[in-house]
Structure 1
Amino acid sequence: MLKIDPADVYSYLDKWPEKTNSTYAVTTQKTEGLAIKSVQQKKEAPPIIIYQDNKKIYKDVLKPDATMTAKLDGKTSGSLQLQQVIVGFDTNNKQVFSVYNPLGSEMIVTFPESAVSYAVGLRISGDGEAVLSEFSLKSYNQPPLVSKKELFSIRSDVDYLLITNVYPEKNNYYQNMFIHRRALSYKERGIKVAIFRLNTSPSIGYYEYEGIPVYMSGDEELTRLLDYRSYKKILFHFITERMYEAVNKSNARTTPKLIWVHGYETTKWYRRWFNFYKDASSLRSALNQAPGNQRQLDFMHKLYSSNDNTIKFIFVSKWYKENVAEKDANAIVKNYSIIHNVIDDQLYRYEPKSAEQRKRILTIRPFASRTYANDLMVKAILALKDQPFFGELEFDIFGQGPLFDKEVEPVRGLSNVHLHNHFLSQEQIAKQHKSHGIFLGPSRMDSQGVSLGEAMSSGLVPVTTKVYAIPEFIDETCGFLADKEDYLGLAEAIEDLYYNPKAFLEKSEEAAHRVRYQCGKDKMIRAEVKEITESSNEKVLQ
């Protein structure tokens, strides 16, 4: 990462303990690298940390005017996720610092002045195996500020900076994957972007994911980066006040800004009533978060109402802009475009369905909250159970999250309901699309419904709910829209498709056609690229 050679290299691939408790069984073995096996004893167990050599404290390594970098690399399988852990101690061996570095990343570690020693560990979550090829700290005879400027100079060919909260990485490729796919599409068209993942760490990490450069750090380093180098335009996804203020404090305060609004960042907390109405603790948690939600909405009001002509907004749906974003922030947005989320119709290719495929029903959803209405999906299946044709149907339910076991329990014993407690890659999703005919995806809140659109692109008929922006993308010509909370309506849609194979084939073809016309990859990316590359004296038609 740095041009000069390190003065010292400290490798930590040996002397790792094994650990078994009520949540995890972890075994380690020194090979050419470090082999790790993790078995999660308890579903949805929180991550654990194991420390090298009984949390040995390494002294006389940290030098005040030297740069320390940390790197973790290797390969993993299953759902296992690993992060490098570095903790710092003062002269009394009191912990004064900690940082987590993901697999595949190299980080300039910013220890506080009070830190004189450190220990190293591994943060472990999930099931699977790993072989680590590198767990190192390196010391360079170069001041940290010089090293950071060197880091900021990497990929000097990049013209645009995209700031967001999370981004895919080697060990965790689900985080904002849709943003990464945008970045790859821009790259195909000659638009080179770098990513800044804003967190709260004073240290700064760097990695490349499928050729896209990614920085990770807090607001201070974001400001420093923008003071050091300039970009033609700054792009935001899931904007927060911290992101905006870090940019505003820098030399980039007058740089043109494009802000994508997806929904979560501009929605009042009580619209998600379905996540907390069932028990007091969930309600208390929601109420505790309400002040933070209001601060975010106040910030969005300020942005929406601003006369700053360097700011422009991109909304993924007209309905969401008018009925949620502007209402909840109590503002009218002046400078904006509507560009829907991209549906990759090249990956999700349309192949004409057979009438038999109307009997194969697919669900691919997170089980992280009640937003995704998986309980309605399960109730719809149960409502079909006594129908004479039920035995001819096959259901495949894919997903992962803390609600999975609880929500699928009522259908666990049904022989034609197949439960898959894991996520799928984009390519695996496309493969599942090919063998199914109906996508069962109810919702309680959605600014578009990307998974529905992806299924439509492959020719699946969507069976979903008439809530929020979904009717902007689906109607009776290409799918079914049940009323809010109406699981019987979902079941009736599947029954209707069973008894009307011709209608199924017509809706399938129309679904694939509509999504390409409305949200097709080439059309949406061309619109976004035009927004990104327009200069201040040009105007993109809305």
Structure 2
Amino acid sequence: MKIAVLTSRYPTEKEPYNHMFVHTRNREYVEKGVYVSVFVPSKNKYFYTFEGINVYRLPTFEIIKKLESFDITFIHLLHTYPIKEIDGSIIYNHIIKFEIPVLFFIHGIEVQKISKSYKDEVEITNPKSILRALYHDFYQIPKIKKIIKSLLNYSKCRFISVSKWMLKEVYDNLKINLSSKAVVIPNGIDTNLFVYDNHWNYRYKVLTLRPLILKGKYALDLAVLTMKHIKQDKVNLTIYGKGKDESKIKDFINKQELSRRVKIINKFLQHKEIPIIHKNFGLYYAVTRMDAQGVSMCEAMASGLPVISFNVCGIPEFVKHNKTGILIEPFNIQEAANWIENLTYDKNLYIRISENARKFIETIDIKNTTQKELDIAKSLM
């Protein structure tokens, strides 16, 4: 099988954050003997290899010429733009016109309105922030809505969503019901990389991996404030990540007088580094205002770290309260603090949740999820 993966961004050595979840899948496909090439719309031509995957940055009119030599296309966050060289709609129209089989992966922002789902991230005092929201909601969303409607009537297309909640988001934002052509397949977790261990001896050390953005969906303000409600001084929080708000977050931590108990590590972690970091922690605080799944949370669960998160969006599809993790009333930081302390006291609770979480994550091991994706692809060819 030959797969053309179409996406608006892809990891590079300098920018490893770029849609790493797409690359993780691609590596697994290649391990299964599938031929994979990635195409990224670009004004300028450029070829590179990232961890064994061939990546072609080409104008859209050159990309569409390449597609005829592939069996199927996989689409991840392929955006539309008013500039022809990078406009994804040209590729979508070509796929439909020439009846090329396609799997359309739904991740979130491509079907969500900023004014509805990301309104906390719009900065009223920042003109660029406002213009970005207007451009997305009034240009890109109508375009992708029209495209998805066309794909819905196209016999060689299936949609894949990482959670049931995300399918509901499609309906709430676009008023399109994809249930007849969609399959829920979570982002797979590499349970060979994330090896289970008992972290009880590190239970006072709490970890979270988030981009360094204080508010909005990443909710680091809530993570910091939770620590104010934890009475045990020996419980501390470490935040790993990179982002624009490092100094702002540090100021916020100092204002809350938590500099001794909350630490920021301004570093992007390579995927292979994350399980090494897990070894030095005992709990994972999956703080969030919005997540379709929470991949970092699921990876922590695989490693044996009991997770605490909020009952929002797609989280309850992965965290079953008191079984595979602790599910908190949305944004109730006092309740979150109480449960973090409970997990440091109650070893039986800690071990039970840790073991149950690992068993659950094994059901969404990346070898299983990617095989399901390939099976659907074969059915369309």
Scaled by the length of structure 2, the TM-score of the pair is 0.90
Q: Does 1:399 align with 2:230?
A: no
Find the aligned partners of 1:164 and 1:300 in 2 and give their Cα distance: 14
Equivalent runs, 1:93-492 vs 2, <5 Å: 159-199=2-42, 201=43, 203-226=44-67, 229-241=68-80, 242-249=87-94, 253-270=98-115, 271-276=117-122, 280-282=124-126, 285-286=129-130, 289-306=133-150, 307-322=153-168, 324-333=169-178, 334-354=180-200, 356-368=201-213, 370-384=216-230, 387=231, 389-390=232-233, 392-411=234-253, 414-476=259-321, 477-492=323-338
Moved more, 311-320 or 170-179: 170-179
What secondary structure sits across from 1:216 in the alignment? strand
Identify if the C-alpha distance between structure 1 residues 283 and 275 changes in structure 2 by more than 3 Å, giving closer, same or farther.
Answer: farther
Structure 1 gap ranges (5+): 1-157, 537-542
Identify if the C-alpha distance between structure 1 residues 526 and 510 changes in structure 2 by more than 3 Å, giving closer, same or farther.
Answer: same
Query: CA offsets per residue over residues 97-156 of structure 1, 9 Å max, x none?
Result: xxxxxxxxxxxxxxxxxxxxxxxxxxxxxxxxxxxxxxxxxxxxxxxxxxxxxxxxxxxx
Question: Cα offset for 1:495?
Answer: 1.5
Find the aligned partners of 2:145 and 2:56 in 1 and give their Cα distance: 29
Find the aligned partners of 1:410 and 1:247 in 2 and give their Cα distance: 45
Find the aligned partners of 2:289 and 2:333 in 1 and give their Cα distance: 12
Contact 1:262–1:315, Cα closer than 8 Å, also in 2:
yes
**Which residue number corresponds to residue 353 of structure 2?**
507
What secondary structure sits across from 1:163 in the alignment? strand
Contact 2:10–2:40, Cα closer than 8 Å, also in 1:
yes
Question: Cα offset for 1:254?
Answer: 1.1
Contact 2:114–2:136, Cα closer than 8 Å, also in 1:
no
Find the aligned partners of 1:260 and 1:429 in 2 and give their Cα distance: 25
Identify if the C-alpha distance between structure 1 residues 321 and 283 changes in structure 2 by more than 3 Å, giving closer, same or farther.
Answer: farther
Percent sequence identity is 27
Query: CA offsets per residue over residues 184-220 of structure 1, 9 Å max, x none?
Result: 1000101111000123x1x211011122110012222
Find the aligned partners of 2:141 and 2:252 in 1 and give their Cα distance: 39
Larger relative strand fraction: 1
Find the aligned partners of 2:93 and 2:359 in 1 and give their Cα distance: 43
Find the aligned partners of 2:124 and 2:367 in 1 and give their Cα distance: 47
Identify if the C-alpha distance between structure 1 residues 352 and 165 changes in structure 2 by more than 3 Å, giving closer, same or farther.
Answer: same
**Which residue number corresponds to residue 529 of structure 1?**
374
Which amino acid is 1:213 matched to?
N
Greater length-normalized contact order (CA 8 Å, ≥ 6 residues apart):
2
**Which residue number corresponds to residue 84 of structure 2?**
none
Which amino acid is 2:37 matched to?
A
Question: Cα offset for 1:288?
Answer: 5.4
Which amino acid is 2:339 matched to?
A
What secondary structure sits across from 1:266 in the alignment? coil
Scaled by the length of structure 1, the TM-score of the pair is 0.64
Find the aligned partners of 1:250 and 1:237 in 2 and give their Cα distance: 14
Contact 2:7–2:76, Cα closer than 8 Å, also in 1:
yes
**Which residue number corresponds to residue 136 of structure 1?**
none
Contact 1:186–1:525, Cα closer than 8 Å, also in 2:
yes
Identify if the C-alpha distance between structure 1 residues 171 and 197 changes in structure 2 by more than 3 Å, giving closer, same or farther.
Answer: same
Contact 1:460–1:508, Cα closer than 8 Å, also in 2:
yes
Contact 2:157–2:380, Cα closer than 8 Å, also in 1:
no
Larger relative helix fraction: 2
Structure 2 gap ranges (5+): 81-86
Contact 2:224–2:262, Cα closer than 8 Å, also in 1:
no
Question: Cα offset for 1:460?
Answer: 0.7
Question: Cα offset for 1:283?
Answer: 7.8
Contact 2:92–2:147, Cα closer than 8 Å, also in 1:
no
